[in-house]
Structure 1
Amino acid sequence: MFKLPEAWVWDFWLVDDGSDYHLFFLYASRALRDPHARHYRASVGHAVSSDLVHWERVVDALVRSDAPAFDDLATWTGSVVRHPDGRWFMFYTGASLTADGANVQSIGYAVSSDLYVWDKAPGPVLRADGEWYEKYAPAPQGNWHDEAFRDPWVVADPEGDGWHMLITARSAVGPAGDPGDRVDRGVVGHAWSADLESWELREPLSAPGAGFGQLEVFQTHVVDGRQVLLFNCAVGDMPEAARRAGITGGVWIASAESVVGPYDLAGAREIDDPSLYVGKFIDDRETGETKFMAFRNETGGSFIGEITDPYVASWAGDRLVLTPAASETSSEAALEDSLTS
């Protein structure tokens, strides 16, 4: 388990450099006292491991920029990929406040030769456009509490045609037949690049009306031969019908035909443990297993803010099963506690 005594840890992303696993994570000081305040104080930390269990914290990756800048409030969730020329690209969310206090999110990137020292490129490289993607508007005209355009997940095109970015975003229009809907507008945002530096914003890869106010922190992955889309949505960001149906929210998994869809959002299922959020898959190069990690969100009404040890991900029919991965320092009782707490 990765946790910091002085700080909350939450959203994270992973990359395997062939020798070590790198964990990039959002963190903020517990001295804030109110865990909800962490979002406006987030920096991107960095830790390294050889086994996904024992982590060594190293120098931070990113902090917010001086104002005025698209990331002068905080640096939020992203992903890391390697350019064919050997450079590492970290795509991340920049948060900034408007004059009336609205949180506006946009996307930038930083470049590194070694995964340790990162240089930000001028940004942002992508913003919500208002045609396909909802822009912030104050009440009563506005439909959402911020301008949701974040969590870039970048993946190479499977046919070799550049790179795709999946983005947490909201449709500029409501679901068909209900253009005024204020909640059910969450979509899989999409952009494309030939070189990772210049990006073309494209229409969403899903339609509004799928039952999610926002689909956060995407990941595409193949688990035991099945292409899936992993995303996250808390019950508070879902339509009232979902809350009445008893849905708990959390980490969701949907089947996919390819990394760019179509995605079966209607058939998406929650990961069993509702106390987990921002799930991530990573392939264990030693065992060949697909591992799953997440951060511990709320338990008993209190925010925890730490990242789990890995689980082994497998299928039981159409249900994803998470089994605690054995480690040389873990007892069976501790593993069972990790799964159920």
Structure 2
Amino acid sequence: MVIALKDKWIWDFWIYQDGADYHAYFLQADNTLAHPDMRHRNVTQGHAVSKDLVNWTHLGTTFRPADPVAWDDWTTWTGSTLRDDTGLWHLFYTGTEHAEEGMKQRLGHATSIDGHNWTRVGDGLALDLSGPDYEEYTPGHWHDRAFRDPWVMKNPKGDGWVMYFVARQPGTAEPNAGGTIGFATSPDLYTWTLQPPVYAGGMFGQMEVPQVFKANGKWYMLFCTDGSHWSEAYKRFNPEKPVRGTHYLMADDPFGPWDVAPGPFFDGAQGSRYAGKIVETDAGLVFMGFLHDAPDGSFIGEVSDPIPVRIDADGLLHTELDKLPPGAKV
């Protein structure tokens, strides 16, 4: 069954495998709010665990905004979770504050001994925007300061840790050509150094919830975006009708250069899955996304069942919906 709660909407999520257990962390909000769009400013994080990505045990709320006044006292949005070499759990997340009307995003850090009860490291702030490579809040050009959705992993090329995140490059005349994937490095998960973006290809206005992984000798970076954020350059590269959904970059090296995967959007159908993640299982790769709009246009707010994924001879990813068991909700 899908990841769902009777009294809450669920949307962006991330999954961490710890031994035989898959831990799902997700954004949640009460579904009694007057409109689903209000969920973004009334958010906490939920936690569920599974051994098969199908049957889930919900553990309740795991993280929430700080008490006022703080840099993350309004929202604690999407991030990633991992354990370090000592076994300590780390949560990296996105925060905004009331004092700035939520317009400036920053990246936060908390730790836990059990993966559920979190303590902020200091005031929680791990990394703030700075330098010439990242776009500040520019009213009238883009609707917020994009600096969010940290994906943290061990440095695959040496010691320490690396972080990928959503950002924008300054000075782009076309707003939809400004989306980038930012990058930072750390020796210890506590001290972070902002680096130039690893991707600034001018293809999308924003490239949300990145996930980086290696499969069959190639590196992949999933991201999601809306059809309204396709640049003119990407419309020429991919002439299909713009859709909302999840696509990916490909590279031979985790630090790039990265290129947008050719061909059709990986998982795109206006109103369908969003913020997708690839999960490695004993049976192979599967894809999950949160379910956005029902056929009648209403917001669903659940996470789909896992969909098998095939990698073809050219390294391109394909969902295999025909291999789903009867009753799967995708």
TM-score (ref. length: structure 2)? 0.90
| Per-residue Cα deviation, 1:86-140 (whole angstroms, up to 9, x for no partner) | 11111000122445x352110011101121211111231211215211111333x
Partner of 1:37, secondary structure, is helix
Q: Which amino acid in 1 is paired with 2:319?
A: L
Q: Which amino acid in 2 is paired with 1:322?
A: T
Which of 222, 225, 229 does residue 237 from structure 1 map onto? Answer: 229
Q: Where do 1:287-326 residues align within 5 Å?
A: 287-300=282-295, 301-318=297-314, 319-323=316-320
Partner of 1:236, secondary structure, is helix
Q: Which amino acid in 1 is paired with 2:305?
A: D
Partner of 2:77, secondary structure, is strand
Q: Which amino acid in 2 is paired with 1:84?
A: D
| Residue 282 of structure 1: how far off its partner (Å) | 1.5
Which of 136, 157, 160 does residue 158 from structure 2 map onto? Answer: 160
Partner of 1:36, secondary structure, is helix
| Residue 242 of structure 1: how far off its partner (Å) | 5.5
Q: Which amino acid in 1 is paired with 2:158?
A: G
User: Which residue of structure 1 lines up, in the alignment, with residue 262 of structure 2?
Assistant: 267
Partner of 2:305, secondary structure, is coil
| Residue 167 of structure 1: how far off its partner (Å) | 0.9
Which of 175, 195, 208 does residue 202 from structure 1 map onto? Answer: 195
User: Which residue of structure 1 lines up, in the alignment, with residue 211 of structure 2?
Assistant: 219
Partner of 2:318, secondary structure, is strand
Check if 1:144 corresponds to 2:145: no
Q: Which structure 2 segments of 5+ residues have no match?
A: none
From the superposition, tell whether residues 133 and 173 of structure 1 become closer, same or farther in structure 2 (CA, over 3 Å).
same
| Residue 269 of structure 1: how far off its partner (Å) | 4.8
Partner of 1:10, secondary structure, is strand
Q: Which amino acid in 2 is paired with 1:320?
A: L
From the superposition, tell whether residues 52 and 16 of structure 1 become closer, same or farther in structure 2 (CA, over 3 Å).
same
CA distance in 2: counterparts of 1:263 and 1:42, whole angstroms: 33
| Per-residue Cα deviation, 1:127-177 (whole angstroms, up to 9, x for no partner) | 1215211111333xxx21011100000111112221110010001232xxx
Q: Which amino acid in 2 is paired with 1:89?
A: H
| Residue 32 of structure 1: how far off its partner (Å) | 0.7
Q: Which amino acid in 2 is paired with 1:7?
A: K
Q: Where do 1:96-135 residues align within 5 Å?
A: 96-99=97-100, 101-121=101-121, 122-135=123-136
CA distance in 2: counterparts of 1:229 and 1:242, whole angstroms: 17
Check if 1:334 corresponds to 2:330: no
| Residue 2 of structure 1: how far off its partner (Å) | 1.0
CA distance in 1: counterparts of 2:119 and 2:132, whole angstroms: 32
Partner of 2:59, secondary structure, is strand
User: Which residue of structure 2 lines up, in the alignment, with residue 69 of structure 1?
Assistant: 70
From the superposition, tell whether residues 54 and 15 of structure 1 become closer, same or farther in structure 2 (CA, over 3 Å).
same
Q: Which amino acid in 1 is paired with 2:77?
A: W
Q: Which amino acid in 1 is paired with 2:24?
A: L
- Contact persistence 2:250–2:261 (CA under 8 A): no
User: Which residue of structure 2 lines up, in the alignment, with residue 282 of structure 1?
Assistant: 279
Q: Which amino acid in 1 is paired with 2:228?
A: G
From the superposition, tell whether residues 226 and 266 of structure 1 become closer, same or farther in structure 2 (CA, over 3 Å).
closer
CA distance in 1: counterparts of 2:262 and 2:46, whole angstroms: 35
| Residue 28 of structure 1: how far off its partner (Å) | 0.4
CA distance in 1: counterparts of 2:169 and 2:110, whole angstroms: 27
User: Which residue of structure 1 lines up, in the alignment, with residue 48 of structure 2?
Assistant: 47
The count of aligned residue pairs is 321
Which of 256, 273, 279 does residue 251 from structure 2 map onto? Answer: 256
TM-score (ref. length: structure 1)? 0.88
User: Which residue of structure 1 lines up, in the alignment, with residue 6 of structure 2?
Assistant: 5
| Residue 241 of structure 1: how far off its partner (Å) | 6.6
Tell me whether 250-259 or 2-11 shows the greater mean CA deviation. 250-259
Partner of 1:280, secondary structure, is strand
- Contact persistence 2:277–2:287 (CA under 8 A): yes
- Contact persistence 1:171–1:208 (CA under 8 A): no
What RMSD in Å do the two structures reach over aligned CA positions? 2.2
- Contact persistence 2:74–2:102 (CA under 8 A): no
- Contact persistence 2:110–2:124 (CA under 8 A): no
Tell me whether 81-90 or 232-241 shows the greater mean CA deviation. 232-241
Q: Which amino acid in 2 is paired with 1:4?
A: L
User: Which residue of structure 2 lines up, in the alignment, with residue 177 of structure 1?
Assistant: none
Q: Which structure 1 segments of 5+ residues have no match?
A: 175-179
